[in-house]
A = this chain, B = another copy of it.
Amino acid sequence: MTNFIYSIPTKIYFGKGQISHLGEAVGAYGHRALLVYGGGSIKKMGLYSTVIDLLKKSSIEVTELSGVEPNPKIESVRKGVKLCRENQIDVVLAVGGGSSIDCAKVVAAGACYDGDAWDLVIHPGKIKNVLPVISVLTLAATGSEMDAFAVISDMEKNDKFGTASEGMKPKASILDPEYTYTVSKHQTAAGTADIMSHTFENYFTNVKGAFIQARFGESLLKTCIKYGKIAVEDPTNYEARSNLMWASSLAINGLLPNGAEVAWSVHPMEHELSAFYDITHGIGLAILTPNWMKHVLNEKTVGQFAEYGVNVWGIDPTLDQFEIANQSIQNTRNYFNALGIPSTLREVGIGEEKLEIMAKKAASMGLEHAFVPLSADDVLAIYKASL
Protein backbone atom coordinates (compact mmCIF):
# COMPACT_ATOMS: atom_id res chain seq x y z
CA MET A 1 0.00 0.00 0.00
CA THR A 2 1.37 3.41 -0.91
CA ASN A 3 0.99 6.60 1.12
CA PHE A 4 -2.10 8.70 0.49
CA ILE A 5 -4.16 11.61 1.69
CA TYR A 6 -7.89 10.95 1.86
CA SER A 7 -10.13 13.96 2.10
CA ILE A 8 -13.69 14.00 0.80
CA PRO A 9 -15.51 16.91 2.33
CA THR A 10 -18.64 16.28 0.25
CA LYS A 11 -21.74 15.86 2.39
CA ILE A 12 -23.95 13.25 0.72
CA TYR A 13 -27.71 13.36 1.20
CA PHE A 14 -28.72 9.93 -0.09
CA GLY A 15 -32.23 8.60 -0.71
CA LYS A 16 -35.80 9.36 -1.62
CA GLY A 17 -36.89 12.89 -0.96
CA GLN A 18 -33.49 14.17 0.16
CA ILE A 19 -34.05 17.18 -2.10
CA SER A 20 -35.74 18.65 0.98
CA HIS A 21 -32.20 19.51 2.14
CA LEU A 22 -31.48 21.63 -0.95
CA GLY A 23 -32.16 24.97 0.70
CA GLU A 24 -29.84 24.32 3.62
CA ALA A 25 -27.15 22.79 1.36
CA VAL A 26 -27.05 25.76 -1.03
CA GLY A 27 -27.94 28.44 1.51
CA ALA A 28 -24.92 27.53 3.64
CA TYR A 29 -22.74 29.04 0.91
CA GLY A 30 -24.61 32.16 -0.14
CA HIS A 31 -27.82 33.52 -1.58
CA ARG A 32 -26.99 33.97 -5.27
CA ALA A 33 -26.78 30.65 -7.10
CA LEU A 34 -25.94 29.73 -10.66
CA LEU A 35 -28.14 26.78 -11.66
CA VAL A 36 -26.35 24.61 -14.23
CA TYR A 37 -28.25 21.94 -16.16
CA GLY A 38 -28.47 20.16 -19.48
CA GLY A 39 -31.04 19.63 -22.17
CA GLY A 40 -34.21 19.97 -20.18
CA SER A 41 -34.84 16.42 -18.94
CA ILE A 42 -34.95 17.85 -15.43
CA LYS A 43 -37.94 19.93 -16.57
CA LYS A 44 -39.75 16.89 -17.97
CA MET A 45 -39.30 14.98 -14.73
CA GLY A 46 -40.48 17.90 -12.60
CA LEU A 47 -37.18 18.29 -10.79
CA TYR A 48 -36.52 21.75 -12.23
CA SER A 49 -39.62 23.26 -10.67
CA THR A 50 -38.95 21.52 -7.35
CA VAL A 51 -35.46 22.99 -7.29
CA ILE A 52 -36.66 26.48 -8.18
CA ASP A 53 -39.38 26.34 -5.51
CA LEU A 54 -36.99 25.15 -2.82
CA LEU A 55 -34.40 27.80 -3.68
CA LYS A 56 -37.07 30.49 -3.67
CA LYS A 57 -38.28 29.34 -0.24
CA SER A 58 -34.73 29.73 1.02
CA SER A 59 -34.52 33.21 -0.51
CA ILE A 60 -31.81 32.19 -2.95
CA GLU A 61 -31.65 34.19 -6.19
CA VAL A 62 -31.16 31.99 -9.24
CA THR A 63 -29.31 32.65 -12.48
CA GLU A 64 -29.46 29.86 -15.08
CA LEU A 65 -26.95 28.21 -17.35
CA SER A 66 -28.92 25.63 -19.34
CA GLY A 67 -28.15 23.47 -22.34
CA VAL A 68 -24.92 21.98 -21.04
CA GLU A 69 -23.96 19.25 -23.52
CA PRO A 70 -23.02 15.64 -22.89
CA ASN A 71 -19.21 15.83 -23.10
CA PRO A 72 -19.54 19.44 -21.89
CA LYS A 73 -17.94 22.08 -24.08
CA ILE A 74 -15.66 24.92 -23.10
CA GLU A 75 -18.14 27.37 -24.65
CA SER A 76 -20.70 26.45 -21.97
CA VAL A 77 -18.06 26.94 -19.30
CA ARG A 78 -17.21 30.39 -20.65
CA LYS A 79 -20.89 31.33 -20.70
CA GLY A 80 -21.21 30.19 -17.08
CA VAL A 81 -18.16 32.15 -15.96
CA LYS A 82 -19.62 35.29 -17.53
CA LEU A 83 -22.93 34.75 -15.74
CA CYS A 84 -21.10 34.30 -12.42
CA ARG A 85 -19.31 37.61 -12.86
CA GLU A 86 -22.35 39.53 -14.04
CA ASN A 87 -24.51 38.26 -11.21
CA GLN A 88 -22.01 38.08 -8.31
CA ILE A 89 -22.75 34.39 -7.93
CA ASP A 90 -21.88 32.86 -4.52
CA VAL A 91 -22.46 29.18 -5.22
CA VAL A 92 -22.80 26.98 -8.32
CA LEU A 93 -25.55 24.35 -8.28
CA ALA A 94 -25.46 21.58 -10.88
CA VAL A 95 -28.63 19.56 -11.41
CA GLY A 96 -28.02 16.65 -13.76
CA GLY A 97 -25.42 14.05 -14.58
CA GLY A 98 -21.66 14.21 -14.76
CA SER A 99 -21.67 16.65 -17.67
CA SER A 100 -23.58 19.31 -15.79
CA ILE A 101 -21.50 18.77 -12.66
CA ASP A 102 -18.20 18.84 -14.55
CA CYS A 103 -19.25 22.03 -16.30
CA ALA A 104 -20.34 23.57 -12.97
CA LYS A 105 -16.98 22.76 -11.41
CA VAL A 106 -14.95 24.51 -14.07
CA VAL A 107 -17.39 27.42 -14.14
CA ALA A 108 -16.88 27.72 -10.37
CA ALA A 109 -13.12 27.72 -10.84
CA GLY A 110 -13.25 30.02 -13.85
CA ALA A 111 -15.29 32.58 -11.94
CA CYS A 112 -12.32 33.02 -9.60
CA TYR A 113 -9.70 33.08 -12.36
CA ASP A 114 -8.51 36.13 -14.22
CA GLY A 115 -8.19 34.66 -17.72
CA ASP A 116 -9.80 32.16 -20.07
CA ALA A 117 -11.28 29.09 -18.39
CA TRP A 118 -9.60 26.74 -20.90
CA ASP A 119 -6.31 27.53 -19.12
CA LEU A 120 -7.74 25.75 -16.07
CA VAL A 121 -8.58 22.67 -18.13
CA ILE A 122 -5.10 22.26 -19.51
CA HIS A 123 -3.25 23.58 -16.43
CA PRO A 124 -5.06 22.30 -13.30
CA GLY A 125 -2.33 23.92 -11.20
CA LYS A 126 -3.72 27.33 -12.14
CA ILE A 127 -6.91 26.61 -10.22
CA LYS A 128 -6.53 28.49 -6.94
CA ASN A 129 -9.95 29.54 -5.70
CA VAL A 130 -13.24 27.90 -6.60
CA LEU A 131 -16.80 28.98 -5.81
CA PRO A 132 -18.60 26.33 -3.73
CA VAL A 133 -20.21 23.64 -5.90
CA ILE A 134 -23.36 21.73 -4.94
CA SER A 135 -24.89 18.95 -7.05
CA VAL A 136 -28.21 17.18 -7.44
CA LEU A 137 -27.47 13.98 -9.32
CA THR A 138 -29.74 12.49 -11.98
CA LEU A 139 -27.46 9.89 -13.57
CA ALA A 140 -25.28 7.21 -11.94
CA ALA A 141 -22.07 7.23 -13.91
CA THR A 142 -19.16 9.63 -13.59
CA GLY A 143 -18.92 10.03 -9.84
CA SER A 144 -18.36 13.75 -10.35
CA GLU A 145 -20.76 14.30 -7.43
CA MET A 146 -18.05 13.24 -4.95
CA ASP A 147 -14.71 13.90 -6.60
CA ALA A 148 -12.29 16.63 -7.65
CA PHE A 149 -12.38 15.96 -11.41
CA ALA A 150 -14.00 17.54 -14.45
CA VAL A 151 -13.65 16.70 -18.12
CA ILE A 152 -14.20 19.45 -20.67
CA SER A 153 -14.04 19.34 -24.47
CA ASP A 154 -13.04 21.80 -27.12
CA MET A 155 -14.55 20.25 -30.23
CA GLU A 156 -12.91 22.75 -32.56
CA LYS A 157 -9.54 21.36 -31.57
CA ASN A 158 -10.83 17.80 -30.89
CA ASP A 159 -9.47 18.19 -27.39
CA LYS A 160 -11.01 16.54 -24.34
CA PHE A 161 -9.08 16.98 -21.12
CA GLY A 162 -9.58 16.17 -17.50
CA THR A 163 -8.73 18.72 -14.84
CA ALA A 164 -8.91 18.51 -11.06
CA SER A 165 -8.70 20.58 -7.93
CA GLU A 166 -9.45 20.04 -4.25
CA GLY A 167 -11.71 23.09 -4.35
CA MET A 168 -13.87 21.55 -7.08
CA LYS A 169 -15.05 18.74 -4.83
CA PRO A 170 -18.75 19.41 -4.30
CA LYS A 171 -19.56 20.73 -0.83
CA ALA A 172 -22.76 18.69 -0.87
CA SER A 173 -24.50 16.33 -3.27
CA ILE A 174 -28.07 15.15 -3.20
CA LEU A 175 -28.41 11.59 -4.49
CA ASP A 176 -32.01 10.48 -4.92
CA PRO A 177 -32.12 7.19 -6.84
CA GLU A 178 -35.66 7.95 -7.99
CA TYR A 179 -34.27 10.75 -10.19
CA THR A 180 -32.63 8.05 -12.29
CA TYR A 181 -35.91 6.17 -12.97
CA THR A 182 -36.33 8.06 -16.26
CA VAL A 183 -32.77 7.48 -17.47
CA SER A 184 -32.95 5.59 -20.79
CA LYS A 185 -31.76 2.01 -21.19
CA HIS A 186 -28.88 3.32 -23.32
CA GLN A 187 -27.73 5.85 -20.72
CA THR A 188 -28.23 3.38 -17.87
CA ALA A 189 -26.01 0.89 -19.66
CA ALA A 190 -23.41 3.54 -20.47
CA GLY A 191 -23.41 4.78 -16.87
CA THR A 192 -22.92 1.27 -15.53
CA ALA A 193 -20.02 0.74 -17.93
CA ASP A 194 -18.51 4.03 -16.76
CA ILE A 195 -18.67 2.98 -13.10
CA MET A 196 -17.14 -0.39 -13.96
CA SER A 197 -14.40 1.30 -15.95
CA HIS A 198 -13.51 3.61 -13.06
CA THR A 199 -13.24 0.52 -10.93
CA PHE A 200 -11.11 -1.39 -13.46
CA GLU A 201 -8.77 1.61 -13.83
CA ASN A 202 -8.02 1.37 -10.11
CA TYR A 203 -8.34 -2.39 -9.63
CA PHE A 204 -5.64 -3.29 -12.14
CA THR A 205 -2.70 -1.69 -10.38
CA ASN A 206 0.97 -2.47 -9.91
CA VAL A 207 0.90 -1.52 -6.24
CA LYS A 208 1.23 -4.58 -4.03
CA GLY A 209 -0.56 -5.24 -0.78
CA ALA A 210 -3.54 -2.91 -1.23
CA PHE A 211 -5.87 -5.72 -0.22
CA ILE A 212 -8.81 -3.64 1.02
CA GLN A 213 -8.85 -1.53 -2.12
CA ALA A 214 -8.94 -4.65 -4.31
CA ARG A 215 -11.79 -6.23 -2.36
CA PHE A 216 -13.73 -2.94 -2.43
CA GLY A 217 -13.19 -2.82 -6.20
CA GLU A 218 -14.61 -6.32 -6.56
CA SER A 219 -17.55 -5.28 -4.39
CA LEU A 220 -18.37 -2.43 -6.76
CA LEU A 221 -17.93 -4.59 -9.87
CA LYS A 222 -20.30 -7.18 -8.41
CA THR A 223 -22.74 -4.38 -7.64
CA CYS A 224 -22.66 -3.11 -11.23
CA ILE A 225 -22.94 -6.60 -12.68
CA LYS A 226 -25.92 -7.44 -10.50
CA TYR A 227 -27.82 -4.19 -10.76
CA GLY A 228 -26.91 -2.71 -14.17
CA LYS A 229 -28.93 -5.36 -15.91
CA ILE A 230 -31.85 -5.04 -13.49
CA ALA A 231 -31.95 -1.26 -13.95
CA VAL A 232 -31.91 -1.59 -17.74
CA GLU A 233 -34.81 -4.05 -17.62
CA ASP A 234 -36.75 -2.59 -14.71
CA PRO A 235 -35.98 1.14 -14.62
CA THR A 236 -37.98 1.92 -11.47
CA ASN A 237 -36.33 -0.76 -9.34
CA TYR A 238 -35.22 1.24 -6.30
CA GLU A 239 -32.79 -1.38 -5.04
CA ALA A 240 -30.97 -1.41 -8.38
CA ARG A 241 -31.01 2.34 -8.85
CA SER A 242 -29.82 3.01 -5.29
CA ASN A 243 -26.93 0.54 -5.45
CA LEU A 244 -25.81 1.88 -8.83
CA MET A 245 -26.04 5.47 -7.66
CA TRP A 246 -23.98 4.87 -4.54
CA ALA A 247 -21.51 2.77 -6.55
CA SER A 248 -21.00 5.68 -8.94
CA SER A 249 -19.75 7.86 -6.08
CA LEU A 250 -17.71 5.19 -4.31
CA ALA A 251 -15.92 4.08 -7.46
CA ILE A 252 -14.14 7.37 -7.79
CA ASN A 253 -14.13 9.22 -4.48
CA GLY A 254 -10.68 7.96 -3.51
CA LEU A 255 -11.53 4.69 -1.77
CA LEU A 256 -10.16 2.57 -4.62
CA PRO A 257 -7.05 4.42 -5.78
CA ASN A 258 -5.82 5.73 -2.43
CA GLY A 259 -2.93 3.49 -1.48
CA ALA A 260 -2.98 1.70 -4.84
CA GLU A 261 -2.61 4.52 -7.35
CA VAL A 262 -1.75 3.93 -11.00
CA ALA A 263 -2.26 6.03 -14.15
CA TRP A 264 -5.48 5.18 -15.98
CA SER A 265 -5.52 3.28 -19.27
CA VAL A 266 -8.92 3.11 -20.94
CA HIS A 267 -10.20 6.59 -20.08
CA PRO A 268 -7.43 8.40 -21.96
CA MET A 269 -8.04 6.14 -24.95
CA GLU A 270 -11.78 6.77 -24.84
CA HIS A 271 -11.44 10.53 -24.39
CA GLU A 272 -10.00 10.70 -27.90
CA LEU A 273 -13.02 8.86 -29.29
CA SER A 274 -15.39 11.34 -27.66
CA ALA A 275 -13.22 14.30 -28.62
CA PHE A 276 -13.25 13.33 -32.30
CA TYR A 277 -16.66 11.70 -32.61
CA ASP A 278 -18.66 13.01 -29.60
CA ILE A 279 -19.85 9.50 -28.72
CA THR A 280 -21.29 8.55 -25.34
CA HIS A 281 -18.32 8.16 -22.97
CA GLY A 282 -19.52 4.97 -21.25
CA ILE A 283 -20.23 3.26 -24.57
CA GLY A 284 -16.72 4.01 -25.79
CA LEU A 285 -15.29 2.62 -22.54
CA ALA A 286 -17.30 -0.59 -22.84
CA ILE A 287 -16.18 -1.14 -26.43
CA LEU A 288 -12.51 -0.63 -25.60
CA THR A 289 -12.27 -2.34 -22.20
CA PRO A 290 -12.27 -6.04 -23.18
CA ASN A 291 -9.81 -5.34 -26.01
CA TRP A 292 -7.56 -3.44 -23.63
CA MET A 293 -7.73 -6.38 -21.23
CA LYS A 294 -6.74 -8.83 -23.96
CA HIS A 295 -3.89 -6.56 -25.02
CA VAL A 296 -2.38 -6.26 -21.54
CA LEU A 297 -2.91 -9.89 -20.51
CA ASN A 298 0.49 -11.53 -20.19
CA GLU A 299 2.57 -13.73 -17.91
CA LYS A 300 3.03 -10.85 -15.50
CA THR A 301 -0.60 -9.73 -15.32
CA VAL A 302 -2.40 -13.05 -15.63
CA GLY A 303 -2.59 -13.50 -11.86
CA GLN A 304 -4.57 -10.30 -11.48
CA PHE A 305 -6.97 -11.16 -14.28
CA ALA A 306 -7.42 -14.62 -12.77
CA GLU A 307 -8.17 -13.02 -9.39
CA TYR A 308 -10.74 -10.83 -11.14
CA GLY A 309 -12.28 -13.91 -12.74
CA VAL A 310 -12.47 -15.89 -9.51
CA ASN A 311 -13.55 -13.12 -7.15
CA VAL A 312 -15.94 -11.22 -9.42
CA TRP A 313 -17.25 -13.83 -11.84
CA GLY A 314 -16.98 -16.86 -9.56
CA ILE A 315 -14.87 -18.82 -12.07
CA ASP A 316 -13.42 -22.09 -10.78
CA PRO A 317 -10.03 -21.22 -9.23
CA THR A 318 -8.57 -24.63 -10.05
CA LEU A 319 -8.59 -23.89 -13.80
CA ASP A 320 -5.49 -22.71 -15.65
CA GLN A 321 -4.76 -19.03 -14.91
CA PHE A 322 -4.93 -17.96 -18.55
CA GLU A 323 -8.16 -19.86 -19.02
CA ILE A 324 -9.70 -18.02 -16.06
CA ALA A 325 -8.35 -14.70 -17.34
CA ASN A 326 -9.68 -15.18 -20.85
CA GLN A 327 -13.02 -16.36 -19.56
CA SER A 328 -13.29 -13.29 -17.32
CA ILE A 329 -12.53 -10.99 -20.26
CA GLN A 330 -15.16 -12.77 -22.36
CA ASN A 331 -17.63 -12.43 -19.47
CA THR A 332 -16.92 -8.71 -19.36
CA ARG A 333 -17.71 -8.38 -23.07
CA ASN A 334 -20.80 -10.56 -22.76
CA TYR A 335 -22.02 -8.49 -19.85
CA PHE A 336 -21.72 -5.21 -21.76
CA ASN A 337 -23.53 -6.84 -24.67
CA ALA A 338 -26.28 -7.98 -22.31
CA LEU A 339 -26.73 -4.33 -21.34
CA GLY A 340 -27.32 -3.57 -25.03
CA ILE A 341 -23.94 -1.97 -25.64
CA PRO A 342 -22.36 -2.60 -29.07
CA SER A 343 -19.01 -4.39 -29.31
CA THR A 344 -17.37 -2.41 -32.07
CA LEU A 345 -16.39 1.15 -32.90
CA ARG A 346 -17.97 0.86 -36.37
CA GLU A 347 -21.36 0.43 -34.71
CA VAL A 348 -20.98 3.90 -33.16
CA GLY A 349 -19.80 5.46 -36.42
CA ILE A 350 -16.04 5.32 -35.92
CA GLY A 351 -13.92 4.04 -38.83
CA GLU A 352 -10.21 3.71 -39.46
CA GLU A 353 -9.63 7.28 -40.64
CA LYS A 354 -8.49 8.93 -37.42
CA LEU A 355 -7.23 5.99 -35.40
CA GLU A 356 -3.58 6.93 -35.78
CA ILE A 357 -3.95 10.54 -34.76
CA MET A 358 -6.18 9.55 -31.83
CA ALA A 359 -3.69 6.88 -30.75
CA LYS A 360 -0.85 9.39 -30.74
CA LYS A 361 -2.85 11.88 -28.69
CA ALA A 362 -4.00 9.22 -26.22
CA ALA A 363 -0.47 7.89 -25.76
CA SER A 364 0.69 11.37 -24.76
CA MET A 365 -1.74 11.38 -21.80
CA GLY A 366 0.46 9.52 -19.34
CA LEU A 367 -0.13 6.01 -20.67
CA GLU A 368 3.54 5.21 -20.09
CA HIS A 369 2.67 5.12 -16.36
CA ALA A 370 -0.37 2.86 -16.77
CA PHE A 371 -0.86 -0.65 -15.30
CA VAL A 372 0.80 -1.98 -18.46
CA PRO A 373 2.53 0.96 -20.18
CA LEU A 374 0.98 1.69 -23.57
CA SER A 375 2.69 3.30 -26.56
CA ALA A 376 0.89 4.88 -29.50
CA ASP A 377 1.31 1.54 -31.29
CA ASP A 378 -0.33 -0.30 -28.42
CA VAL A 379 -3.26 2.11 -28.44
CA LEU A 380 -3.57 1.77 -32.21
CA ALA A 381 -3.64 -2.01 -31.88
CA ILE A 382 -6.39 -1.76 -29.24
CA TYR A 383 -8.38 0.66 -31.42
CA LYS A 384 -8.01 -1.65 -34.42
CA ALA A 385 -9.07 -4.68 -32.41
CA SER A 386 -12.13 -2.66 -31.42
CA LEU A 387 -13.15 -1.75 -34.97
**A222 x B226 contact (CB < 8 A):** no
Task: Report B-chain residues with C-beta under 8 Å of the C-beta of A239.
Answer: 1, 208-209, 211
Query: 3 closest Cβ contacts across the A-B interface?
Result: A3-B15, A215-B219, A209-B239
**B211 x A215 contact (CB < 8 A):** no
**B8 x A14 contact (CB < 8 A):** no
24 inter-chain pairs at a CB distance below 8 angstroms, sorted by A residue, are A1-B238, A1-B242, A1-B243, A2-B15, A3-B14, A4-B12, A4-B15, A6-B11, A6-B12, A7-B11, A9-B9, A209-B242, A211-B239, A211-B243, A212-B223, A212-B246, A212-B247, A212-B250, A215-B218, A215-B220, A216-B216, A216-B219, A218-B219, A219-B219
Residue on B nearest A177 in the bound complex, by CB? B1
The docked-state distance in angstroms from the alpha carbon of A209 to that of B246 is 12
Task: Report B-chain residues with C-beta under 8 Å of the C-beta of A6.
Answer: 11-12, 14
Q: Is A18 in contact with chain B by the CB < 8 A criterion? A: yes
**A220 x B227 contact (CB < 8 A):** no
Query: Would you give the 0/1 interface string for A220-250, flagging 1 where the beta carbon is closer than 8 Å to chain B?
Result: 1011001100000000001100110011001
Q: Is A16 in contact with chain B by the CB < 8 A criterion? A: yes
Residue on B nearest A226 in the bound complex, by CB? B211
**Looking at the complex, which one of B7, B18, B215, B238 makes contact with A12 (CB distance below 8 Å)?**
B7
Task: Report B-chain residues with C-beta under 8 Å of the C-beta of A209.
Answer: 238-239, 242-243
The docked-state distance in angstroms from the alpha carbon of A223 to that of B246 is 22
Q: Is A259 in contact with chain B by the CB < 8 A criterion? A: yes
Measured CB to CB, the closest approach of chain B to A254, in angstroms, equals: 9
Known A14-B258, A208-B239; further 12 A-B contacts with Cβ < 8 A: A1-B243, A3-B14, A4-B12, A4-B15, A7-B10, A7-B11, A14-B259, A15-B259, A209-B238, A211-B223, A216-B216, A242-B259
**B14 x A4 contact (CB < 8 A):** yes
